[in-house]
Structure 1
């Protein structure tokens, strides 16, 4: 879907059809005229289109490291980078994350909303690698952060920020006492004092935007963390950039490709780090191609929660409140079935077999007053997890035994609290769902502490 803010552009008159995004109903995005080159960096070019609110971003075959000190050309890298970025941003859009990316239009180009870029590089880390180890040399490579670490680096060039001379470009920022303290990013932090303090810095008057950046960055990392876990890879850090579009909305912008993260397979890097470490260009090219191919398989699963009650008197409001809290109804199917397995056994069994056949990736919650034989009965008929919640266990604690003492081959789980049972169901689905994992994990992150 096209975001609602884009729909407000009278000049663009965009709509989404079966064949892609169109302008004035007959002009495809890939046919947008690129008026002029407005920016060029080490690895990409940005062109203005005939519509002021849109740009074309073109990847290049260049690969650099060490602030450009190391520079090579790898044939095909532009295709790898553009395809990886497009695959990643498509996934993030499906996860309802605000991205500037609109549509891939060629092997090396994509259309993006034009953004006023915020001059910060935002880096989020699950483990200690790269420059973080230089700042914290007492830590070992791979030191785990249960709570994600988010760092800000000021994007600069020629060792200059406005009228301030810098010791090094792209310094680490620590925000303190309403000012930005700048540190060398490649030196032990405990041996430094800030080499500069900025009283005026980007977004100083917009603390809510900082909060939003942190929230979006966390969601982005968690979605990609789980997606890579699903194919036996480990994402350990990620850098990203943000911008403000034409209507003032914060967007994840720029690109996310194999230059943007550290990604491990069996403990070994398969990202740009191998280039930094001196791998030959053929090996680097093969790793970039591998990552591009893997991101082509990024997708969200079709899943469902089946909330089964015996009668209308079994109130499921507590389940629904928890589902609403995590916005699970936007991520997976939620179906409420009302059927007594005692009174209508044939209808009930036909119904559950049909539901699970249609969406095999399911979890069943059963909530029944009085005798709660529903959960064990259903668990013996299907191969999906069944969680039973005795409705009246406080008044009739003996009812719990019908859920605990079950026959063989009836592996029902019992949870007393409806909220906990619902969260348990979501956690089961989140094992295979990056979007749902991000929702659940982001709430947990706030309870964790890192040992540094």
Structure 2
């Protein structure tokens, strides 16, 4: 059972997703995100547990959000009151998953028949409608305009930010001896305008060892590769060295 950290008094559970519980606090506009050890894949058709995943994902996210803050990327991170929890600024979330790809992997293989591991000439930015009932479908710019999710000017801001995040994180992970294959971002509106939200962890990033392309992310759970707990801990140890 998860323990809610002490500190800012929690008022109520606002939302529970596959990976986190979000609580209100006694500070207006401040939320408490409690990261879970639960693991899901394939739209929750596969379920399991990764030992200490909540602590790993919260700590890696906090570390990377600090790096992005230092680089001038607005994000919702405030502090880390406990190993498995973060205080976050409340955002009005945009129902888009923004995926940046540097190397062909995952669904890009099945949609394009390109070989897994092919390095892309330039980063590819894709948008998915964050809607569980519809299975989070891939959208193009015209779909986004049709649904009224954001304006085209706002979408351009999102794309620019996502590419900036990609450059910062790719360089950081390279220094850790890790290739950033692809990753998912979510954005919302807050006091800083367009603001990066959600998390940055092996749950929503594909990470391969630079020496041998060994998988270090949640694909180990998705595809029963074994060594899931150890891989998450390895990523954490490498990240915290820089």
Query: TM-score per shorter chain, which class?
Result: over 0.9
Verify: 1:128 aligned to 2:75, yes or no. no
Verify: 1:66 aligned to 2:42, yes or no. yes
Which stretches in structure 1 are left out of the alignment for 5+ residues?
1-28, 160-168, 181-197, 299-452
Structure with the largest fraction of strand: 2
Q: Partner of 1:14 in structure 2?
A: none
Q: Secondary structure at the match of 2:140?
A: strand
Verify: 1:149 aligned to 2:124, yes or no. yes
Verify: 1:217 aligned to 2:192, yes or no. no
Question: Which of residues 191, 203, 206 in structure 2 aligns to 1:259?
Answer: 203
After superposing on structure 2, the runs of 4+ consecutive aligned residues of structure 1 that deviate more than 3 Å are none
Which stretches in structure 2 are left out of the alignment for 5+ residues?
none
Verify: 1:284 aligned to 2:228, yes or no. yes
The Cα of 1:248 is off from its aligned counterpart by 6.2
Verify: 1:174 aligned to 2:119, yes or no. no
| Distance in 2 between residues matched to 1:143 and 1:231, nearest whole Å | 21
1:188-199 matched pairs, under 5 angstroms: 199=146
Verify: 1:90 aligned to 2:66, yes or no. yes
Question: Which of residues 183, 190, 194 in structure 2 aligns to 1:250?
Answer: 194
| Distance in 2 between residues matched to 1:236 and 1:230, nearest whole Å | 15
CA displacement 1:366-387 (0-9 Å, x = unmatched):
xxxxxxxxxxxxxxxxxxxxxx
Over the aligned positions, Cα root-mean-square deviation in angstroms equals 1.6
| Distance in 1 between residues matched to 2:159 and 2:241, nearest whole Å | 27
TM-score of the superposed pair, with normalisation by structure 1: 0.51
CA displacement 1:306-356 (0-9 Å, x = unmatched):
xxxxxxxxxxxxxxxxxxxxxxxxxxxxxxxxxxxxxxxxxxxxxxxxxxx
| Distance in 2 between residues matched to 1:74 and 1:227, nearest whole Å | 25
| Distance in 2 between residues matched to 1:236 and 1:36, nearest whole Å | 37
1:320-335 matched pairs, under 5 angstroms: none
The Cα of 1:74 is off from its aligned counterpart by 2.4
| Distance in 2 between residues matched to 1:248 and 1:258, nearest whole Å | 27
The Cα of 1:215 is off from its aligned counterpart by 1.1
The Cα of 1:38 is off from its aligned counterpart by 0.3
Verify: 1:116 aligned to 2:92, yes or no. yes
The 8 Å contact of residues 141 and 152 in structure 2, kept in 1 or not, is answered as no
**Residues 95, 65 of structure 1: alpha-carbon distance in 2 compared, 3 angstrom cutoff:** same
The Cα of 1:143 is off from its aligned counterpart by 1.6
| Distance in 1 between residues matched to 2:49 and 2:120, nearest whole Å | 35
Q: Secondary structure at the match of 1:257?
A: coil
1:344-355 matched pairs, under 5 angstroms: none
TM-score of the superposed pair, with normalisation by structure 2: 0.93
Question: Which of residues 233, 237, 240 in structure 2 aligns to 1:293?
Answer: 237
Q: Partner of 1:273 in structure 2?
A: 219
| Distance in 1 between residues matched to 2:192 and 2:122, nearest whole Å | 30
Q: Partner of 1:13 in structure 2?
A: none
| Distance in 2 between residues matched to 1:279 and 1:289, nearest whole Å | 16
| Distance in 1 between residues matched to 2:177 and 2:25, nearest whole Å | 40
Verify: 1:100 aligned to 2:66, yes or no. no
Higher relative contact order (CA 8 A, sep 6+): 2
Q: Partner of 1:419 in structure 2?
A: none
